[in-house]
């Protein structure tokens, strides 16, 4: 299926519409979660994990049951109908954004954990930036805001 065919699917269009509608609420909630960072200059990795949970469940339509926290060494393994789809390595907020070395190290770590989980898609996030790669290094998406 080509990219153009995929983008014309009704389910894809509905997901995009819902994500666009829910995005402002997600951003406001993320900002609120990050206030600890502004107050204290540093926050726990748990804050980034909570932000990812919000993104995946409230914006991207994954269910809480699809999210598997601390599966072996992997911070988060996302499943669909019991099948492991991707691994997300989480870092504390601010640890990855605009820090190439930290990004490379986190990707290496995510790839190791993905190998243990027998999946090829990985993502890394610090709650501020999200980078996802397919086939371990084929870029899928990167966002910061």
The domains of the chain are located at: 3-144
DSSP 21-71: HHHHHHHHHHHHHTHHHHHHS---HHHHHHHHHHIIIIIS---GGGEEEEE
* Average pLDDT over every residue of 54-69: 97
Task: Please state, in angstroms and rounded to a whole number, the distance separating the CA atoms of residues 121 and 111.
Answer: 8
| Tokens 């995946």 belong to residue | 56
Please list, in sequence order, all residues whose beta carbon lies within 8 angstroms of the beta carbon of residue 78, skipping any fewer than 6 positions away: 56, 62, 66, 67, 68, 84, 85, 86, 87, 88
What does the pLDDT look like over 28-38, one tens digit per residue? 999 999 998 87
Predicted confidence band of residue 137 (pLDDT cuts 50, 70, 90): low
Residue 141 predicted with pLDDT over 60: no
Task: Please state, in angstroms and rounded to a whole number, the distance separating the CA atoms of residues 82 and 84.
Answer: 6
What's the predicted TM-score (pTM) here? 0.85
């Amino acid at each position: 299926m080509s990219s153009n065919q995929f983008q014309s699917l009704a389910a894809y269009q509905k997901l995009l519409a819902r994500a666009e509608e829910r995005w402002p609420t997600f951003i406001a909630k993320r900002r609120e979660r990050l206030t600890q960072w502004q107050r204290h200059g540093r926050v726990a990795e748990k804050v980034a994990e909570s932000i990812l949970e919000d993104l995946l469940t409230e914006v991207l339509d994954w269910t809480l049951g699809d999210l598997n926290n601390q599966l072996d060494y992997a911070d988060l393994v996302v499943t669909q109908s019991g099948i492991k789809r991707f691994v997300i390595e989480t870092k504390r907020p601010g640890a990855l954004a605009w820090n190439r070395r930290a990004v490379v190290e986190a990707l290496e770590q995510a790839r190791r954990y993905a190998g243990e989980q027998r999946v090829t898609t990985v993502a890394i996030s610090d709650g501020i930036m999200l980078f996802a790669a397919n086939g371990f290094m084929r870029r899928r998406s990167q966002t910061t805001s």
